[in-house]
Amino acid sequence: MNFEMKTIREVSLEAEICYPEVIKLGDHAAYALTARHRAQLTGLENIAESTFKTADILDYIKKQIARFNHWRKPDPTASNPQQGFGERLRYYLEEDLSLRVGRICRRERLNVGDTTEDEQQTRRHIRLLLMRQVIRHIVVQYEYRVSVGLEPQYGARDDA
Amino acid sequence: MEPGTMLDQKQLRKVWFLSDNVLYREAVAFLHKLVYEQECDPLPTSQVTGLLNIALLLKYGELEDFIQHQLERNWPPGKRDIKILYTALEEVLGIMRRKRLKDEFHLLDGVSAGEIRRETDALMALLAREFIQHMVAENGRLAVELSNQRPRQRSK
């Protein structure tokens, strides 16, 4: 298997491990954005799929946090019920996924160092692939939730 | 980008790398230092829009002129933070242009002497755009955070 194929496989495996948390983020998106702001989440997905830079994705999320109240809406069922959706998503992509990239790059997996520029470029590419996959899953979960409805613990919608 | 200049794929890839691995972190730190250590307010929306629009033009000379103009303006006392921010931004970009572009980022390796000026401007236009885009995004985020946290200490 060539390196590109191995990368795709390892990114997919790691995305699967992320899945339970990603589901929660998708639910939080459905709770905060509701079906009314679907375009803002598909906008995020479009940026993730088209950009060459992970920072563009983070910048987009920050802009949304600054512009819209619903991006700052916390999830009452989350472990941090004060944290808004945008902040939670930004933190997850920026901090948690960085650790996961480190795991993918370990010797027993892709064996990518962190010293030379080539190695750092490869890590950056892996991070972008993982971000894209995670965001795809979040959008799918969001779509599912806005269509079937939120779990009862979210209570009644207060933003109808 | 400066007219008549075409950066190669290797340079562009390097710019993306720098944007993600260096400039993003530095732009966030730059703003945090101003806001948290020097207690400046984030830039107001009108300034953000103007700065970002100029940066997106990818004409480094025009961006330099804009920043210079803004920092030389006679700002009223309530807006001294804007002057501080532009002064700091000019310094950051100046160091990037004079030193880091060549010595640290190695973006001018192999560029002929006759092309140095034009390539420098083209590369700086890209790097400055990246830095400013990251800075502006963090600025908006911080403005929201501070509006919830910081009591209104200064009269506007």
Q: Report yes or no on B63 lying in a domain.
A: yes
Count of beta carbons in the 10 Å neighbourhood of residue A103:
14
Find the distance separating the first CA and the last CA of chain B, reported in whole Å: 37
The pLDDT tens digits of the residues spanning B102-127 come to: 999 999 888 888 889 999 999 999 99
Closest CA to B87 of B75, B70, B74: B70
> Which sign, positive or negative, has the C-alpha torsion B1, B50, B23, B78?
positive
pLDDT of A119 strictly over 70: yes
In a domain, B142, yes or no: yes
pLDDT at B2: 52
DSSP, collapsed to helix, strand or coil, labels residue A84 as strand
pLDDT for B149: 80
pLDDT at B1: 57
pLDDT digits (tens, 9 = 90+) for A47-103: 999 999 999 999 999 999 999 999 999 999 999 999 999 999 999 999 999 999 999
Cα Rg of chain A, angstroms = 16
Model pLDDT for residues B128-137, shown as the tens digit of each residue: 999 999 999 9
Answer yes or no: is pLDDT of A19 > 70: yes
B43 in contact with A at a CB cutoff of 8 Å?
no
Please report residues of B whose CB lies closer than 8 A to that of A63: 137, 140
Domain annotation covers residue B1: no
Query: Phi/psi at A146 (nearest 5 deg)?
Result: -70, -20
- pLDDT of residue A155 exceeding 80: no
Rg of the Cα atoms in chain B: 16
Q: Which of A59, A72, A120 sits opposite B137 (nearest CB)?
A: A59
Which chain A residues are Cβ-neighbours of B20 within 8 angstroms? 53-55, 124, 127
- How many pairs of residues across A and B have Cβ atoms under 8 Å apart? 46
**pLDDT of res. A152:** 76
Closest CA to A122 of B20, B133, B27, B24: B20
Which residues of chain B fall below pLDDT 70?
Answer: 1-5, 150-156
Task: Tell me what the pLDDT averaged over chain B comes to.
Answer: 91
What average pLDDT does range A14-38 have in this prediction? 96
B19 belongs to a structural domain: no
**Is residue B82 a part of any domain in this protein?**
yes
Number of domains in chain B: 1
CA distance A67 to A46: 19
Q: Which residues contact A79 (CB under 8 A, 6 or more apart)?
A: none
CA-nearest residue to B28 within chain A is A59
* Domain assignment of residue B104, yes or no: yes
**CA gap A138, A73 in Å, rounded:** 17
CA distances to A54, A56, A106 from A102, in Å: 16, 21, 6
Nearest-by-CA chain B residue for A63: B137
- In three-state secondary structure terms, B119 is helix
* Nearest-Cα residue of chain A relative to residue B147: A66
Out of B16, B17, B140, closest to residue A66 by CB: B140
Which chain B residues touch A129 with a CB distance below 8 Å?
none
Cβ-defined contact of B133 to A67 (cutoff 8 Å): no
Residues 6+ apart with CB under 8 A from B78: B154, B155, B156
B140 to A58: CB separation less than 8 angstroms, yes or no: no
Contact B137 A63 (CB under 8 A): yes
Cβ–Cβ gap B21/A120 under 8 Å: yes
Residues of B in contact with A68 (CB under 8 A): none
Could you give the CA distance from residue B15 to residue B130 in angstroms, rounded to a whole number?
9
Q: CB distance from B129 to chain A under 8 Å?
A: no
Identify the three-state secondary structure at position B87: helix
Which range of residues forms the domain containing residue B123? 24-146
Quick check: is B6 in a domain?
no
Strand partners, A84: A74
pLDDT for A160 equals 38
Distances (CA, A) of B154 to B41, B47, B48, B75, B80: 10, 19, 21, 16, 11
Helix (H) or strand (E) holding A135: helix A117-148
Sequential DSSP letters for B26-60? HHHHHHHIIIIIS-PPPPPHHHHHHHHHHHHTT-H
